[in-house]
Structure formats: structure tokens, C-alpha cells
Amino acid sequence: MAVTKKNQKHRDLAQILSAASCALIAGTSPAVNAAESWDVDSAFLLYSESDGRVSAAEPVISATKNYDEETKLNFKLVADTLTGASPNGATPGDHVQTFTRPSGNGSYDVAASEQPLDDTFRDTRIALSTNWSAPINRDWAYGVGGYLSSEHDYQSVGVNSSLSRYLNQKNATLTLGLNLSNDTITPEGGVPTSLVQMPLSSTDSEFSQRSDSESKSLVDAVFGVTQVINRRTIMQFNYALSTSSGYLTDPYKIISVIDDNAGANFGGNFQSNGRDLYLYEKRPDSRLKQSLYWQTKYQLDNNDILDLSYRYMFDDWGISSHTIDAKYRFRFDKQYLEPQLRWYTQSKADFYHRYLNASNYTDVDFASADYRLGDLDTYTIGLKYGYKFADETEFYTRFSLYHQESSGDKGYGKLASQDLYPSMDAAMFIAGYKF
Amino acid sequence: MRTLISAVAFLTISIAVTGCSDLGVKPWERDILAQQEMNLISDPIESSLNDHIYFSKEASSGGQGFGGGGCGCN
């Protein structure tokens, strides 16, 4: 009997996976219909940045088996392919700059006044996750999950759990969530020595003393209160704490050292060992992030839905950020149209420097020129369209534009004429099908 | 920005003052809230794709859930 049940389960799963992969390939083929007890949610993301920077294609498929209203088992598979160029952290200069490839095999040149981009950026990621959630009794519920992700230079494994308590006829829910993960980084060419000069090639002794891999561990906790305000309004407040420790540096990022001695090369690249000096970046080996999150969903008399959220995040690296996200869903008979606006702003990390100075670069304990740790403002504007064929069968598509603006120290001398903070635009397209 | 923070603070305080027991609906008044669109995360896949993008391009992540993570993109 048990065997029969198991086989049935396997057949169901096989059926669902084949149906789901068909859906991914064929889009909205009406012939695709899975077993009744499974909900399938599939989507495809295309992401493309301006100036030949990163582009990504990411299919996702998620299947949920509903045992009853509150008991669910979910499997999710994500594939991710990335190509394009990524800023290496160095400043643009008044001459052609030569950078060693991360592997140490060969180098690449960047023209004068051009943003230094590493064009070897290429990756494929596969991530698998599963989650089980069920009630304990009338007032309590729990969830457990596991996660695995792999790319050629990065692996991550994680487990998570949650516990919920319902209060006041389920009008209030208190939730505590915990997530533990362990990540291993095996950079191309090994782990570079932080804050030392980028060597010329893999024959350099710096390469031979490198270790193959480093790791970091993360603990996240979220405490949340969800409150039903009235028949049309629901609200949530979350407090989240996230600690990471271990190797938090980006092994592929470098930082330029600029000549601050008065003379002809004032503001130019500082020379060491007969070439421009670039140091591998170094970040602290721990980080504590905290965030406060508030979200409200309100359904108007005409059935349109307003979804507003705000997040305040701060950490012990000195970064703090504000995020506001607003969506408004115009609902028609079977269709909906949802414009979206998101605004994000962050202040820089204490150890963020766009460049270091020749007179004191040996004094720093930590330094990174990664624009993602600098002063940054970003904007997203998007429009989503959805069509519901029937109950729980829906096709949707969303197009959005993302804009980033960095700012900071403008440099001096020769450096002042360079564009140290170029902006970036990206286009995102998502198509999804649920059945 | 300040206005928004005040609005959030005002809502929080009013909830605290009125007491949560005055808020909420009876079980038979849940028709609107029961709609799938009224889930706080109504499109989990779309949310996770967004989280993944923002995680790899900005210094913050999470808040609503664990958000992002598990990749060498940041």
C-alpha cells in the first residue's frame, strides 16, 4: 500500500514537473493542466543593464501541494544565467589601464576615461528549495524549509523554520522566523590577499600563497506582527536581525591608489613596482543588519488594491537605507493593471572609499570601492498586467525600468575630470503563469 | 520622508492606544481579506525575483522575509 502511494506521489511529481517545464517553454499553452492537488507557479525573468553590463535570464518553477487550507509542501527550482561586464572598483584614468584577470591568466585593457569593467563576468546558478508548513493546533502553526544553491565559484546551503501564534480570532498573528545558512566561496584564481597590490599574473608569488576557498555563515531572525485592521485593510510590522560572519569581502573587487603628491601626476594613478597600484579590497569579517518593515494592503470600494510598504535598514558597517514601494492594482473583470513605484536610498559604509591616497593607503584596515556600499539612490518604475483565465489560473507580465545614481567624493587634480559615479539603467521583463 | 515616518508612527501609536482587540473582523466578514490578491505577498515568485535583483545591486536586503542571499552576486 505504502509503495503504491509512493509511486502515485512520484507519478504526480513527474507529471507536474513535465507539465511545468512545458509551460516554461510553451508559455501559456492551454493544453497544460496539472493534477488538481498541485498549484504551479512559473515565471521567466529577463534582466538587462545598459552599456553592455550584466544581463540575466532566470526561469523559476514552484510547485505547491495543498493537503488542506493550511498544510502545504512546496518545491522551488531556480536557474540563473549571467553574462556581461561588472565594475571592478578601479577609477577611470587619464591613460589606458591594464588589469590582471581574476584567474591570473592574461589581462584586459580599459581605455582612458572609461569606466573599468571586468568583462569576464559569467555565471550559471541553480537553486533548489523546499518548504513545509502546517498547523500545530487552532492557535499555532509552524514551517520548516531547506535550501541549496550552486554556481561555479559559490555554494550555499541553508535551513529555516518559523512559528506562528494566532490571536483574537486570527485577527492578529505573531510570527518568529529563523534562517541559518553557510556559504562557500571558491573564487576564480583563488582567494586574493586583501589590501595587497594586484599582481601581474599567476606566476607571481601572491597567487601561490592563496587559499582555494573561504566561507561565511549567516543567521537571520524575523519577528513579525500581522494585524487585520478592518474588512478591507491588513497591516504588517516586522523587525529583522541578520548577522553574517566569515569572508564578506568581494574577491573580484579592487581599489585604485591615487597620487596625492604635488606635481605633474597630482590626482593620477600612483605607481608602485613600475605600474599603477590597485589593491584587493577588504571588508570586516562580520556584519550585523537590522531592519524595520511596515506594509499595508487596502482594498478600495471599487475593488482596486493599494499596497504600500516602507523599510528602514541599518547595520554596523555604517550603512542605513530607506525603501518605499507602492503598487496600485486597477481591477477589471478578469484582468488587472498594476503600476509600481519603488524608491531606495542608502548611505555609504564607513570603509567605502572611491579610491585611496598614496600618502596613507597603508594605514587603512578595511577598504572597498564597491559602488553597492557607497551613497546610492535607486528608482524602479514598473507596470504589470494580469489575466485570470479561471480560478487560480493566471498569466501575468511585468515590465520595469531600474535606475541607479551614485554620489560621493569627486577626487582632485587629474581625477576630478573623470566620471567617478556613472549612473546605471536596467530593464526587467517578467512573464509568469500560475495554474 | 519625514511625513511618511510620522504617518507610520501615527498609525503605530493609534493601534497601540486603541488596543489590538478593537481591531479586526468577525470570521464571517473575511470575504475581501480572503481574496488571494489581499495576501501580503500575493505573488511569491515575482517577489523573490525582485529580492534577488535588489540584493545583488544594493546594500540592503530582507525585511519582509529573509530576502535575497545564497548567491555570489553580493
Q: Go through A270-299 and write b for each residue having 16 or more CB atoms within 10 A of its CB, e for each that does not.
A: beeeeebbbbbbbbbeebebebebbbbbbb
| Residue B9 included in any domain | no
Q: Are A278 and A272 in contact (CB under 8 A)?
A: no
Number of domains in chain B: 1
φ and ψ at B64, to 5 degrees? -75, -45
Distance in angstroms between the alpha carbons of the first and the last residue of chain B: 28
Q: Please indicate, yes or no, if residue B45 is contained in any of the structural domains.
A: yes
**Which residues does chain B have within 8 Å of residue A228's beta carbon, measured at their own beta carbons?**
23-25, 33
Residue B49, domain member (yes or no): yes
Residues within 8 A of A (CB atoms), B 27-66 only: 27, 29-33, 35-38, 40, 43-46, 48-49, 52-54, 57-60, 62-66
Rounded distance between C-alpha atoms, residue A387 and residue A304, angstroms: 15
Quote the ipTM score: 0.89
Asked whether residue B44 is domain-assigned, the answer is yes
Can you give the residue range of the structural domain that contains B44?
Answer: 35-60
Counting one residue from A and one from B, how many pairs have CB atoms under 8 Å apart? Answer: 168
Nearest to A131 by CA among A180, A71, A81: A71
Do the domain assignments include residue B10? no
- Find how far residue A123's CA is from the centre of its chain: 14
Q: N- to C-terminal Cα distance for chain A? A: 30
- Please report whether residue B42 resides in a domain: yes
Task: Examine residue B30 and state whether it is found in any structural domain, yes or no.
Answer: no
Q: What confidence tens digit (pLDDT) does each residue in A332-357 have?
A: 999 999 999 999 999 999 999 999 99
- What is the full per-residue pLDDT of chain A (435 aa) written as tens digits? 333 444 444 444 445 444 444 444 333 333 333 344 799 999 999 999 998 899 999 999 999 999 988 899 999 999 999 999 999 999 999 999 999 999 999 999 999 999 999 987 788 999 999 999 999 999 999 999 999 999 999 999 999 999 999 999 999 999 999 999 999 999 999 999 999 999 999 999 999 999 999 999 999 999 999 999 999 999 999 999 999 999 999 999 999 999 999 999 999 999 999 999 999 999 999 999 999 999 999 999 999 999 999 999 999 999 999 999 999 999 999 999 999 999 999 999 999 999 999 999 999 999 999 999 999 999 999 999 999 998 789 999 999 999 999 999 999 999 999 999 999 999 999 999 999
Q: What is the pTM of this model?
A: 0.88
Which of A149, A227, A292 is nearest residue B71 as measured by Cβ atoms?
A149
Unique residue bearing C-alpha cell 545583488: B56
In a domain, B74, yes or no: no
Q: Give the chain B residue whose CA is nearest to the CA of A179.
A: B66
B1 in reach of chain A (CB within 8 A): yes
Whether B8 and A231 lie within 8 Å, measured CB to CB: no
